[in-house]
Amino acid sequence: MADSPADRAPHDDPATDAVPPADPVAERRRAVRQAISISIATGLYGISFGALAVAAGLTVLQTQALSVLMFTGGSQFAFVGVIGAGGGGVAAAATAALLGARNALYGAVMAPRLGVHGPRRLLAAHLTIDESTAVATAQRDPDAGRAGFWWAGAGVFVLWNAFTLAGALVGNALGDPSRWGLDAAAGAAFLGLLWPRLASRSARLVAAGAIVVALALTPVTPAGVPVLAAALVAVAVGWRAPSPGGTAGAPDAPPGGPAPAAGGAS
Amino acid sequence: MTPLQTWLAVLGGAAACYLTKLVGHRVPSHWLTDPRVARISGLVTVALLAALVGVQTFTHGSALTVDARLVALGVAAVALALRAPFIVVVVLAAVVAAVLRAVT
């Protein structure tokens, strides 16, 4: 707020700049607008989560509990995916927790920007997801960034839960999941969450390796284990720093910390 | 699983996910913004989602199979490449699989 033009200079980009940079009110309004549109887009696919969760065998109440309490879309889809494939509760919870590991990085990025303590920090932690972090970090103005975080977090929470309930009720009414192609919809949902994360070459390498590992283990290990084991592919590839020659022109990690994929997993 | 076991998994998984978020807000940020931690975390997300695509599409119980789900996934990939919204991609895949099963 009240930045001097010199403070802003490094961020100025005439090509993408429709709003005068020195107007914090306009910046804030723009952040809130972005937050609302992302909330609607993300909330809507709560319908598919609700329907897939009951198709996997959860009750409407259990489905709703995941959206209220877990509130991180990728982990929720993974949880019901493992249950639907016959995996046990421990494997389902462990897969969900691992898939939610990136939220810790988002928390580390957001904490200094939000500067909240006590109950507000507990609430901020719950609302720390791809979308709220993406909207916040896309703002140049710190105040607009905070507004974007809270509006996107709260907006996604309300709509994601409302559409989860709608989807669960629809899924309950449909009956046999495979007759309606809901089992195929689950694969498509995971592909949709994966798609925006495949930009780098090492991500595509990990994705291919993970599919091979998971399918190779499916006949010989209990359900749920193949997906968890595939995470080791990521550790194996990610442990080694990308060699400067090998990935020139295709940086794996953008500077400035993790980059959430907006519109991807919540 | 019994209903109690399912509930324990729901609540345990939710608690683990919340604590993960809280840890991010509580620990010194340089712990988590270490390039290797950030890199592995991002790739773990990719690996788990890719493995779930594979398991949801090519397995039935503990057997590997190829069926209408593969065609549905191909259509979903085309829709994603054409930048279709998530909900459209998911519904399209369900419709393709349901129609294929109805006519074969």
| Yes or no, beta carbons of B16 and A189 under 8 Å apart | no
Residues of B in contact with A237 (CB under 8 A): 43
Nearest beta carbon to residue B76 from set A71, A191, A219 = A191
Output the pLDDT for position B62.
87
The predicted-structure confidence for A233-264, as pLDDT tens digits, reads as follows 999 999 986 755 444 333 343 333 444 554 44
Report the percentage of chain B scoring pLDDT > 70. 99
Residue pair A220/B75 in contact by the 8 Å Cβ criterion:
no
In-domain check, residue A44: yes
Say if CB B94 and CB A184 are below 8 A apart: yes
B55, two tokens: 């398991």
Amino acid at site A214? A
User: How far apart, in whole angstroms, are the C-alpha atoms of residue A230 and residue A173?
Assistant: 35
Residues 64-93 on A with a CB inside 8 Å of B are: 65-66, 69-72, 74-75, 77-79, 81, 83-86, 88-90, 92-93
| A12 within domain boundaries | no
Residue in A215, A71, A79 with CA at minimum distance from that of residue A154: A71
* Contact state of B42 with A181 under an 8 Å Cβ cutoff: no
Mark yes or no for CB contact B56/A193 under 8 Å. no
Q: B47-95 pLDDT, tens per residue?
A: 999 999 999 999 988 899 999 999 999 999 999 999 998 889 999 999 9
Q: How many CB atoms lie within 10 A of CB A76?
A: 31
Q: How big is chain B, counted in residues?
A: 104
| Selected residue of A114, A211, A235 to mutate for chain B interface (largest B Cβ count, 10 A) | A211
- Nearest CB to B48; choose among A83, A107, A231: A231
Rg from Cα positions in chain B: 19
Q: What is the pLDDT of residue A260?
A: 59
The mean per-residue pLDDT over the stretch B14-27 comes to 95
Domain assignment of residue A103, yes or no = yes
Q: How far apart are CA A208 and CA A210, in angstroms?
A: 5
HEC profile of chain B: CCHHHHHHHHHHHHHHHHHHHHHHHHCCHHHHCCHHHHHHHHHHHHHHHHHHHHHHHHEECCEECCCHHHHHHHHHHHHHHCCCCHHHHHHHHHHHHHHHHHHC
The Cα B76–Cα A157 span in angstroms is: 26
- Please check whether residue A247 lies inside any domain of the structure: no
In chain A, how many domains are there? 1
Q: Which residue of B has its CA nearest to A258?
A: B38
Are A127 and A154 within 8 A, CB to CB?
Answer: yes
For residue A20, the model assigns a pLDDT of 52
Q: In one letter, which amino acid is B87?
A: I
Distance CA A178, CA A185 (A): 10
Per-residue pLDDT tens digits of chain A, which is 266 residues long: 333 333 333 444 444 445 455 688 999 999 999 999 889 988 988 999 999 999 999 999 999 999 999 999 999 999 999 999 899 999 999 999 999 998 998 998 899 999 999 999 999 999 999 999 999 998 889 999 999 999 999 999 999 999 999 999 999 898 887 788 888 998 998 999 899 999 999 999 999 999 999 999 999 998 889 999 999 999 999 998 675 544 433 334 333 344 455 444 44
Using an 8 Å CB-CB cutoff, list chain B residues near A253.
35, 38-39, 42
Phi, psi of B59 (to 5 degrees): -125, 150
Query: In this complex, how many residue pairs, one in chain A and one in chain B, have their CB atoms less than 8 Å apart?
Result: 338
Is A220 within a domain? no
Distance of residue B44 Cα from the nearest chain A Cα, in angstroms: 5
The interface predicted TM-score of the complex, written ipTM, equals 0.91
pLDDT of residue A41: 85
Closest A-chain CA to B4: A89
- Using the beta-carbon criterion (under 8 Å), do A191 and B95 form an inter-chain contact? no
Q: CB under 8 Å to B85, separation ≥6 — which residues?
A: A41, A44
Tell me whether A99 touches chain B (CB under 8 Å).
yes
Host domain of residue A100: 17-200
Of A45, A195, A252, the CB nearest to B87: A45
Residue-level pLDDT at A125: 98
